[in-house]
A and B are shown apart, each in its own frame.
Chain A
Amino acid sequence: MSNTDRSYLSISHVQKKFGRFTALNDISVDINKSEFVCLLGPSGCGKTTLLRIIAGLEEPSKGTIIMADKDMTNVPPAKRNFGIVFQSYALFPNLTALQNVIFGLKTKKLTQKEIKDRAREALALVDLEQVGHRYPAQLSGGQQQRVALARAVALSPDFLLLDEPLSALDAKVRERLRYEIRSIQEKLKITTIMVTHDQDEALTMADKIVVMNEAQIMQVGTPLEVYERPINAFVADFIGSINFWKNQNQEKLAIRPEHIRLAKSGGIKAQVETIEFRGPVFRVQFIVYDRNSDLNGSSIKADLTMKEVHEFHLQKGSEIHLDLSLDRILAYDA
């Protein structure tokens, strides 16, 4: 049975039904050791259910979960050796940060000193040694989430589960924590599975993204793969922005706004409809009027640099040529 190239965590043909509702339909994913995997999808796609099945909090209706060659499908959560962090932090309000971390360590056969040392170590890992004596209510949201992370990793679990850990935080804190979680994960080399609906989070943090929709897996791949070569129209649309149109063969074509360039001549003719300033780029919406193009009459959006916008003196109503680089156009069956 032992096979070294086999993945660390293998989810095969998992199905979950709640009554008549199918939450997961024939899900198979392989996760390697020390990998950071994001389960990404719109709300209701089944990603949280999948995480809960991996944790043992839900039982699959069909399929198996194999961890390090052992069938864990029916093993209760306590025996699976994972750490978990929730969006709500779930810190015990009547215990201090340090006591929260110690809480789980007490079940291990360790001496008082070992427990204290490991708890302090865990807090140091998230850079919160100084606030160990504070109660959760006295910590900021970001700090609370870091304590929750420390609590989860203090037990040296085999893998770490993160259920939308950053969704409750402000944009700034969120960005910092993304980086922090990822660096802790790399330091500990801990296999991590994170559920998120935020594509930026998935793209910046993950080694591997599992894109899900309507109880099914759409695509599994590196961030670059799912962004550059989305396997179907849903993935293309869900991750990043994209323009869709149809050609004569009823194929669905698509191109990302940043792959459209301006040209003095050639390409397709278009007129500026709206210009929206977005900080680093301008999002410009064009209407195509070019009888030779499949796009004739439809709108197309492009992300242009400030330099380009100035160079071409773009303003509402300007007429211009658009260059859609052929190698950037994606094609899907309609």
Chain B
Amino acid sequence: MKQEYAIPANTARQPFFFNRENWLKRSLLLVMLVTFLVVLVLPLMTLFVKAFQSDDGVFVGIDNFINYFQTPALVQSLQNTFFIAAMTTAISVSLAFAYAYCLVRTDIKGKTFFRYAAFLPLFAPTMMHGIALVYLFGNQGIFTNGFFGLLPAMDINLYGPVGIIIAEVIYTFPQAFMIMLVALGNSDYRLYEAAETLGVNKAKQFFTITLSNAKYGLVSAIFLVFSLSFTDYGAPKVVGGQYNVLATDIYSQVVGQQNMSMGATVGILLMIPALLAFFSDQLVNRKQSSSLSTKAIPFQVKQNRKRNALAFSFVTIITICVFLVFAAVIIAALAPGWPYNLSFNLANFQLESYTGGGFTAFKNSLLVAALSAVFGTIFTFIYAYAIEKIRKMTGLRKAGKFFSILPVAVPGLVIGISYVLFFSQPTIELFGSRFTNPFNFLYGTIGIIVLANILHFYSVAYVTATSALKKLDKEFETVSESMGVPMYKTFFKVTVPMCMPAILEMAMYFFVNSMVTISAVVFLYTAEFNLAAISIVNLDDAGNLGQAAALSVLIIITNIAVRILYELVVYWIQQRRKYKQNQLTEGMVMNE
């Protein structure tokens, strides 16, 4: 029988034993939530409220929406946007699926080359695809003139839906391709072997095994591409002509007519597909995580010449198209006299001599991208760490998790407008009371641009950080705690070094995207602090297409250089790890 003890009188459970470690963790989580409140929740709430107010701040219910649907021009652009997004989705996802299929399920040569070629458009702003199309198919385009009269003229009526759709396909193709690559890579060869032994023919195998395995990826890709092309601003701006879409509407409402309420209304419409994409993705992720067992055998490619020839031709054609776009922009940048004077020179790169201060804008962009990369990576990684590795405070962590993946559902334009609405107001009204806006000072500074970029690209970086953190034993923190080692020490000594490749990947991602993005920052830049992506649009507007192309080329070169740098550093880290271990193993052999 167990002895009964006099239990100390004070057994009332203290809710939280006070010590520095816990205090630190709790503060970290609270700071994280406050950050999300300021950079995400409050701006979005302001936007949401604005959509139900008149321009002078009176509550008008859904009047703005009624107003919207009663304005034929606006309804027209909603239809246009749907048309663009639907067409882009159909074309881009089919091409991406086929391209990924060719790379995963055949043994053609040059797979690495083709994979990188498909990623190329990620390094360029969407306006660049538009500019390239103008050079290829515009009024003076190479194809339009039939290669200086060598071929029959070919006018595809670029300005309008055709141009936008082509540009959006180029823009969204790499993103869809990435998803399809993963989806098709996650296959279990045992299923195909089983089908073979049962005598199921190839076509049926494709539909019952391949498609059904890739279906979640396909759904993801469809939603993502739809949402991206639904909200893109750059391509319609350059090749849209008179064809209005929501993204250009919102810009003219907010910047042109200063009609904030209508801007907010359009912003909410813009968010709908992205929100749908977000929720479908959550659903898909939950289902997909259980679909592939660890025992799965990777797909084994059998020899098939005919199939390989077909696949090779297909990926070559697509790659040529991608290169054509880049070649066109490079020619545009290097041949100022195009198409009348074919001499190549660097005149277009004399960006400072033209209005818009192209070179200053480029330097500003570098600064913004670098700051976004540094601060974005630091914040994302620390927050992801807090969410993943703190043991208690489940509620706070769950909230943090939700806010971390939510930004992916907020299009750049919506971030831009909600930031204008929230940060520009000198006072905030919250639950009926009014107080000064402590963040108002950010408005019109580089700070707000960096903040917008970090939020815009937060979720992808967060997922990168989280998956790297998940690979580390979850007991590292427990063991450290048992030894009385403070959490931050384990973080710096173990977690950060172990996650270095992921951290670099995050920084690279923030940098590259901050260089090319226009949607969020188009509302936030100032005349004194211009950005390269915006300069491209302004130069294009002013008819200086050559300079716009030159600036695009500068951005691409920078981004590719950053990417190469990233690859080199990661390679170096891996080599060093291997070297350290090999050296030791050799030393050991010699000792024995």
Q: Are A28 and B2 in contact (CB under 8 A)?
A: yes
Known: A30-B2, A64-B7. A77 touches B498 (CB 8 A): no
Instruction: Give chain A nearest CB distance to B581 CB in angstroms.
Output: 6
| Bound CA–CA A59/B391 (angstroms) | 11
Contact with B along A293-325 (1 / 0, CB 8 A): 000000000000000000000000000000000
One of A95, A107, A157 near B485 (C-beta < 8 A): A107
CA A104 – CA B14 in complex, angstroms?
Answer: 28
Are A73 and B13 in contact, CB atoms less than 8 angstroms apart? Answer: yes
Interface string of A112-125 (1 = CB under 8 A from B): 00000000000000
Contacts of A133 in B (CB 8 A): 584
B493 proximity list for chain A (CB < 8 A): 92, 95, 103
* CB pair B473 A88 closer than 8 Å: yes
B494: which A residues are within 8 A, CB to CB? 92, 94-95
Task: Give complex CA distance A134, B476 in Å.
Answer: 19
Q: Knowing that A30-B2, A90-B476, A134-B584 are A-B contacts, what are 7 other residue pairs whose CB atoms are under 8 Å apart, sorted by A's residue number?
A: A74-B13, A83-B483, A86-B479, A90-B473, A103-B493, A137-B581, A157-B482
B196 within 8 A of A: no
Q: Which residues of chain B are near A137, meaning CB under 8 Å? A: 581
Residues of the A chain whose Cβ atoms lie less than 8 Å from the Cβ of B479: 84, 86, 90, 151
- Minimum C-beta distance from A318 to chain B (A): 43
Residues of B within 8 A of A89 (CB): 473
B198 at the interface (CB under 8 A from A): no
B436 within 8 A of A: no
Q: In the assembled complex, which residues on chain B have CB atoms less than 8 Å from the CB atom of A106?
A: 485
How many residues of B are in contact with the other chain, CB < 8 A? Answer: 34
Number of interface residues of A (CB under 8 A): 45
Interface status of A6 (Cβ within 8 A of chain B): yes
A188 within 8 A of B: no
B476 touches A92 (CB 8 A): yes
Given the contacts A79-B19, A138-B585, A71 and B8 also touching, CB distance less than 8 Å: yes
The yes or no answer to B541 lying at the interface (CB within 8 A) is no
Most chain A C-beta atoms within 10 Å of own C-beta, residue among B3, B5, B580 = B5
Give the residue name and chain of the A residue nearest to B11 (CB): A64
Q: Is the CB of A84 within 8 A of B482?
A: yes
Residues B475 and A86 in contact, CB atoms below 8 Å apart: yes
B194 at the interface (CB under 8 A from A): no
Query: Does B478 lie at the interface of the complex (its beta carbon under 8 Å from any beta carbon of A)?
Result: yes
Q: Which residues of A contact B22 (CB under 8 A)?
A: 76
Instruction: Give A contacts to B, CB under 8 Å.
Output: 6, 10, 12, 28, 30, 55, 57, 59, 64, 66, 71, 73-80, 82-84, 86, 88-90, 92-95, 103-104, 106-108, 133-135, 137-138, 151-152, 155, 157, 161
Please tell me if the beta carbons of B482 and A82 are within 8 angstroms of each other in the complex: yes
Which residues of chain B (1-52) have a CB below 8 Å from chain A? 2-3, 5, 7-8, 11, 13-14, 17, 19, 21-22
Does B352 sit within 8 A of A, measured CB to CB? Answer: no
B7 touches A78 (CB 8 A): no
**B476, B484, B584: the one within 8 Å of A78 (CB):** B484
- Chain B residues lying within 8 Å of A90, measured Cβ to Cβ, are 473, 475-476, 478-479
CB of B584 within 8 A of CB of A138, answer yes
Is there contact, CB below 8 Å, between B483 and A104?
yes
Nearest B residue to A55 by beta-carbon distance? B482
Q: Which residues of A contact B580 (CB under 8 A)?
A: 135
Q: Which residue of A lies closest to B479 (CB)?
A: A90
Docked Cα-Cα span, A222 to B255, in Å, equals 81
CA–CA, A72 to B486, complex, Å? 20
B497 at the interface (CB under 8 A from A): yes
| Least distance between B434 CB and chain A CB atoms (Å) | 41
Question: Which residues on the B side are within 8 Å of A94 (C-beta)?
Answer: 494, 497-498
Q: Which of B3, B14, B497 is in CB contact (< 8 Å) with A30? A: B3
Chain B 373-397 residues near chain A, CB threshold 8 A: 391
Measured CB to CB, the closest approach of chain B to A78, in angstroms, equals 5
Shortest A191–chain B CB gap in Å is 15
Is B484 a contact partner of A107 (Cβ separation < 8 A)? yes
List residues of chain B with CB within 8 A of the CB of A76: 17, 19, 21-22, 481
**Taking the complex as formed, is B58 at the interface, i.e. its CB lies under 8 A from any CB of chain A?**
no
Known: A66-B5, A84-B482, A86-B475. Is A78-B581 also a contact (CB below 8 A)?
no
Q: Are A84 and B478 in contact, CB atoms less than 8 angstroms apart? A: yes
Q: Is B588 among interface residues, defined by CB-CB distance under 8 A?
A: yes
User: B586 to nearest A CB, angstroms?
Assistant: 11
A166 to B13 alpha-carbon distance, docked (Å): 35
Per-position binary interface string of chain B over residues 349-389, scored 1 when its CB falls under 8 Å from any chain A CB and 0 otherwise: 00000000000000000000000000000000000000000
- Min Cβ gap A105→B in Å is 8
Q: Are A107 and B483 in contact (CB under 8 A)?
A: yes
Option from B14, B478, B482, B588 in Cβ contact (under 8 Å) with A74: B14
The interface residues of chain A lying within 8 Å CB-to-CB of B588 are 134
In the complex, the answer to whether A71 meets B11 with C-beta atoms within 8 Å is: yes
Interface pair B498/A93, CB less than 8 Å apart: yes
CB pairs A–B below 8 angstroms (22 shown): A6-B3, A12-B5, A30-B2, A30-B3, A55-B482, A57-B478, A64-B7, A64-B8, A76-B481, A77-B478, A79-B19, A90-B478, A94-B494, A94-B497, A95-B493, A103-B493, A104-B484, A137-B581, A138-B585, A151-B479, A152-B482, A155-B483
